[in-house]
Structure 1
Amino acid sequence: MAAGELGAGLVIVGAVVKGATSALVSKYFDQIVSPFLRGISGLRNQQVIKKNLFRYIKSVEYRTRTLPSIAIPSGVFQLESVYEPLTVRSESDGSLYEVDSYPRGLFSHSRCVALTDDAGMGKSTLAKFIVRSAINEGRSIPLLVELRRLRAGVSIVDSLCSELAGGDSSSSAGTELINLFANGNFVFVFDGYDELEDEIRGKITDEINELAARFVFCYFLLTSRKEYGSALFPEFAHFEICKLSEEQAHSLIRRYDQGRGLAKPLLNKIEEAEVHDFLGNPLLVTLLYKAFDYRQSIPPKRSIFFRQVYEALFQDHDLSKGGSFERKKQCALDVDDFHKVLRSLGFITFKSGRVSYSPEEFSEHLKAAVERSSISSDWQKIRQDLIQAVPIFAKDGVEYRWSHKSFQEYFAAQYLAIDLASRREEALRKIFQSSDVLRFREVLRFIAEADLALVREICIDPLLRSACSGGGSDDDIAIECIFASADVFYVGGFRGAGRGNFERVSVQKYVHERLGFDTSKNVTRTVTSRADGGAILVALKENGLRFILLSSLDPENFGGSRRAAESKLFLYWRERFQDDDVHLNGVASSLTGDEAVTALASATNLPVVTRTTINAVRSAAEARKAAMATSVLDDF
């Protein structure tokens, strides 16, 4: 790889920002970065690294100033003007940290942080904000690595060395750069783990873990969707983003509006509508604003949100200008045929496991989508329209990428629901039975929103039948389903997760050594007690991968939860088992009653299944079967 080319996906993308250097960058580099480089061996190495790091800092500061957004016609916001301070919560001990500046408190909790949450919760925005805060406040040297840019055959370290030292890791300057990493003062920000290619995910996972173990005086932040669990990064402390409060959502809408006059009528409509679930998600707040701009109504479902936003983009509608203006489409397709092409494109690209593509890859995907759609149009004109007239995609350097991964998932779900016709049940069954089912979380959620009866019949009812006999009390059924979904371990003797430790003894390692269970290949969840020690490790079984989707797919039956506070949760287990280490599945017969169910549900984060929920799902499934058995021709 030539010097100056980028493999690891740093924000700079190998490009030099032209123009004057800001006073902020000069001050930061002179006071924070330059003194740190004085220990580099060899004047030539020092000059090369200093020059490249300066170019990087200048570029990353410039590139993190703005956020792309479909909410407004210009398509871009200043980050500081729309950033609503987000709060993150530890999945292990429940501690909270508001990120309104460089997160020293978060990194004092653990130097390795994995931020995992659902689509649209602001993970990448938070990553950018932390990088920018490091520069603004003169903290660590931030290295922002956009993982979706990685391709096979190039390691993260070699890519960093190529960009910042002008050679690979074995070169003289590369060796000196690695020595700098070993000295500390860097924060590695790995953004978008879920957007990695499937073929290289295992290798990159290993490398990130190796880097975290090797550079013990550096900080690490990784962002990802929830479908990739903590088993992959056992030494990272896992956090989730708290939902926006209603006040924060309203503030975000006002920030988006910037005097356009839409905020006030939209907020009035929100007061009348039942959309409070949407307001907790920053992406859905954005879509709400864009959808309202187009039709001045509030869609009741996420799928209708996305369709309405798509139509707004297609029409290039802007009520603040006193009407709509439709930008001319080169491809001459109408709104439905263009949607059909996007459905195929969503499905084809979702299968690839990526959201950004080289020009050649994007052309091949688009040609295949046009052919699959049986649409008579020039694919090259459609490509031009996807970037300019209907900006569902964006140019990012030389690559094409979906404006947000959620759009890819929406169109993929629409393809499965509409275009597969008679084969959609078979496809749905295959997806739900797949070992990779968590990757399809949002796709399945869109499908369930459109046809919940279908999902109950094809997915949920068979799952419940396989997990439990349906006999006994509600508490018996709930416990049976939990243990059919996960191996649960209470380890009262665990004392290895002290706050701020550089070398943390993982709960997984402890369970392996003490109880003989290797959970390294499982999706896991860990809960630790800060007060008295002890921990709970949850290792999902194959059924568990599906059970954790139920609250998203069927919130009517599985949306309720029984959760205990950390103190009460550990009080229950400590009273039962003191400092013993126990595989709870092995003592299932001794765990009875409502208190046991609440403690298990809190520990595992799995839904509580009762006889009522089983009967409701089965009734819905049977009703759909009966309805489908009657031919529509009988109505004529």
Structure 2
Amino acid sequence: MDLSNIKDIASIITPLTKIVFETFLLPKFQEFQKKMSREGKVIDQYFENKFIDYLDELYEKCAILNTVAFKKRQVWLHDVYIPLKLRCEETKEELKIDVFSDDLFKNSNKILITDTAGMGKSTLSKKLLLSCIEMNKGVPILIELRRLSKNKGIIEEILEQLNPINETLDKQFILDLVKRGDFIFFLDGFDEIQLNERAKVTSEIQQFTTKANKNRFVLTSRPENALTSFGDFLKFQIRPLNSLEAFDLLRKYDQSGELSELLIKKLKESSVFPNIKEYLTTPLLVSLLYTAFEHKQTIPFKKHIFYRQVFDALYDSHDLSKGDSFERDKHSGLGIDDFLRILRIFGYLCLVNGNQIEFTRDQLEDIISKAIKYCGDIKVKPSDFIKDLIITVPIFSLDGVYYKWSHKSLQEYFASQFIYLDAKDKQNEILLKICFHESNELYLNIIDLYESIDPRGFKNIVLYKLLQDFTKHMKVSYKNFPDSKSKLERQQLAFIYDLYLINFPFEPRTRENSPSEIFELLRNLKGKKRMSIGMNVVPDENQISCIKVPRIINPQLILLNFLDDKDYSFVTRIKMKPSRHKIDLKLKSRHPYSVTDRKNSYLNTLDNFEKTNDIIKHFLARHEVPVINQKKASIALSEIQESIKSSSDENFLLTF
């Protein structure tokens, strides 16, 4: 669809949004007007118009894409959307999302869509939202969760979007309206909430979805342990694109068709495909691959080189309307190297500032000023640098009064580059803090990028600590117990989980009966600050005496999953195989028992040690758990120690 005349969009949108308003909101407004008139109050036409305007603006915002793949060209989402497939974790069903489908909500009115960076969670939300309006399925409300805070909840965000006159009266009106149902709330980007706001916003979402349970909810996020707080949401994952879908997407990006066919031809070459297949599984990487190839018709095999090629394409982008020889002057007057230096520290400051990716103008100027000051020798006005980020090097977008990274993965690329190139004597400390942070799943893309940039440093710093910690753990833990298969299993699990047993009966298939009360008991334990608690259900509770096994996931588990995906040889996956006989373990009701290596623990008696292991296996039976192979770990550790020694002995560097 040609978007050369954006004004014509109103003729497409307004008839659709008017039908939605008349179907779902007008009857409620008329009912409220009767009630208010009896009480001497009035809801005037102005408020009705606000809702119609909101739906019009929301449709336009979601329908038109401005992404790095298209530089400054605006395109319709419908024109470049590839139907994504969702897989339900619980039912194992798959759904192809090309239009809004009631099947998505047939088992629950609350769904959670998770997957890794660039899989298209936000695009999928927008597609569902647009289709919801086009098919007249309900009143969509988009809540970008990064905008919520201790001082601004969901209702306040809705009011800000509607911008009403009488906020006090209208807040109660909105609450009443929401409680009556027919809304579909798209709660986008849980992983983008700033860390210092996370606990409050999580509580706000839980309370809101409980009170407004006559509505439907779609929550999206990268995978995080903190999502266990939403045990009553039905969980879906986005399936990776296959190569044919990726090729179809490349063709959609290309107006002439020539460039995409050349790229596809190169990708199909047998020597290329194995090295590049990772880029073809996620819509974001497919779009960035097209951008990189458009700039320089080579295919980068390393992930960090890939991102650098994308940046070069954006920095060197030409204004085609003025001929190929014309290159936009930068408002900042900076060359590419100085521009990159500021971007690297800026990307890192966003990371340490609670993973912030969206800013007000004042916030953006402040953090860029700090980045410029850190560089020391670069003189540039923050306002000019911001102009470049929006206009001449379009890695930022402007959404109303908010300035935002065009995609979080670009910020993560610059942050990882800062750690490698600019962090100097703090490099090891920063890298270890990120990799072993209790919420290190937030930083997996940075870890991945750093491993691509500096594989030797990654091994000598991160893997060295991991393997040293594991070796010490295997020597010290359970040392008063005789060697056995059961002891080895317990040690391997204790390295990646803090485990508990608790006698707490409930129906495992009843979605309303979530394990939140069990989690609250654990949170109240002295010294337990982490909120990342997970727990599966089992087919037959009576077989294990109605005992639950909530677990706190340690950073080591996240790292092992990452390393297994990278084919590190010392990581292996074991399938938990519980016994089929009934396990009779007498535990006090609603009392958490910590699984430790204390010899006098009730769980570690001669009769109970294997029973405890078996109950744990019941709760992990669906998983192939990543663990470290002792023998291979010892070999890997020796190799890393030799690498560290050779690094310190590199005297040839001084032989001039």
State the TM-score bracket (shorter-chain normalisation).
0.7 to 0.9
Q: Is the CA contact (8 Å cut-off) linking 2:80 and 2:252 kept in structure 1?
A: yes
2:185 corresponds, among 170, 184, 188, to: 188
Q: Which amino acid aligns with 1:622?
A: Q
| Aligned residue number for residue 617 of structure 1 | 636
Q: What's the CA shift for 1:162?
A: 5.4
Matching residue of 2:261: 264
Where does 1:8-23 land on structure 2 (aligned, <5 Å)? 20=11, 22-23=14-15
Equivalent position to 2:117, from 119, 129, 133: 119
1:175, distance to aligned residue in structure 2 (A): 2.1
> How far 1:483 moved relative to its partner?
2.5
Cα distance in 2 for partners of 1:429, 1:560 equals 19
Given that residues 437 and 546 in structure 1 are in contact (C-alpha distance below 8 angstroms), is that contact kept between their aligned partners in structure 2?
Answer: no
* Secondary structure at 1:184 match in 2: coil
After superposition, the CA RMSD in angstroms is: 3.8
Paired letter, 2:265: N
Per the normalisation by structure 2, the TM-score is: 0.82
How far 1:476 sits from its partner (Å)? 6.3
Change (3 A) 1:332 1:520: closer
Q: CA deviation at 1:537?
A: 5.3
In the alignment, structure 1 residue 549 sits paired with structure 2 residue 559 = yes
1:368 is matched with which residue?
370
Greater CA drift, 363-372 or 573-582: 573-582
Bigger shift: residues 362-371 or 330-339 = 330-339
Q: 2:478: which partner in 1?
A: none
Residue 426 of structure 1 aligns to which amino acid in structure 2? E
Residue 153 of structure 2: aligned partner: 155
Matched position secondary structure for 1:42: helix
Distance in 2 of aligned mates of 1:490 and 1:214: 31
CA positional deviation for 1:226: 1.7
Q: Aligned pair in 2 of structure 1 residues 134, 531: CA closer, same or farther (>3 Å)?
A: farther
Q: Give the distance between the partners of 1:31 and 1:557, measured in 2 at CA.
A: 56
Unaligned 5+ segments in structure 2 are 1-6, 476-482, 588-592, 596-602
Counterpart residue number, 1:393: 396
Offset of residue 157 of structure 1: 1.8
Corresponding position of 2:357: 355
Give yes or no for the alignment of 1:42 onto 2:36.
yes
Please say if residues 560 and 571 of structure 2, whose CA atoms lie closer than 8 Å, have aligned partners that are also in contact: no
Q: SS of the counterpart of 2:69?
A: coil
Q: 1:105 to 1:521 in 2, by over 3 A?
A: farther
Greater shift, 176-185 or 71-80, is seen at 71-80
Tell me what 1:314 maps to. Answer: 315
- Written as runs of structure 1 = structure 2, the 5 A alignment for 1:482-521 is 482-487=493-498, 496=507, 498=509, 504-509=512-517, 521=530
Q: Could you list the per-position Cα deviations for residues 503-524 of structure 1 after superposition, in whole angstroms to 9, with x for gaps in the alignment?
A: x11135357789x989994423
Gaps of 5+ in 1: 1-15
* Equivalent-residue separation in structure 1 for 2:502 and 2:249 (angstroms): 43
In structure 2, the residue matched to 1:415 is: 418
SS in 1 for 2:365: helix
Query: 1:539 and 2:551 equivalent?
Result: yes
Code of the residue aligned with 2:106 in structure 1: it is S
Cα offset for 1:113? Answer: 1.8
Measured in 2, the distance between the counterparts of 1:584 and 1:106 equals 38
Which range is displaced more, 626-635 or 346-355? 626-635
- The answer as to whether partners of 2:149 and 2:201 remain within 8 angstroms in 1 is no
Partner SS for 1:188: strand
Partner letter of residue 29 of structure 1? F
Aligned to 2:598: none
How many residue pairs match? The answer is 608
Q: Which residue number in structure 2 is paired with residue 304 of structure 1?
A: 305
Task: Identify which range, 573-582 or 434-443, moves more after superposition.
Answer: 573-582
- Residue 243 of structure 1: SS of its match in structure 2? coil
Q: Is the contact between residue 413 and residue 443 of structure 1 (CA under 8 Å) also seen in structure 2?
A: yes
Distance 1:211 1:579, change over 3 A: farther
Task: Give CA deviations for 1:539-573 in whole Å, capped at 9, x if unaligned.
Answer: 224xx223212332561216976476xxxx7xx44
Give the match for residue 144 of structure 2.
Answer: 146
Distance 1:135 1:455, change over 3 A: same
Aligned equivalent of 1:431: 434
The AA in structure 2 aligned to 1:153 is N
The residue number in structure 2 matching 1:103 is 101
| CA displacement at 1:28 relative to structure 2 | 2.6
2:479 is aligned to none
Higher Cα Rg, which structure = 2
- State the Cα distance separating 1:634 from its structure 2 match: 4.7
1:135 equivalenced with 2:154 (yes/no): no
Aligned with residue 580 of structure 2, among 575, 578, 599: 575
CA 1:166/1:333 → structure 2, altered by over 3 Å: closer, same or farther?
Answer: closer
1:29 equivalent in structure 2 = 21
1:97: Cα distance to partner? 2.6
Alignment deviations for residues 567-596 of structure 1 (CA, whole Å, 9 cap, x no partner): xx7xx4472547989989547953899x99
Deviation at 1:479, TM superposition (A): 5.0
Q: Deviations over 1:580-631 (max 9, x none)?
A: 89989547953899x9999887645642321254135313421321122114
Shift of 1:425: 1.3
Deviation at 1:282, TM superposition (A): 1.3
Query: How much identity, in percent, do the aligned residues show?
Result: 27
Report which stretch shifted further, 150-159 or 81-90. 150-159
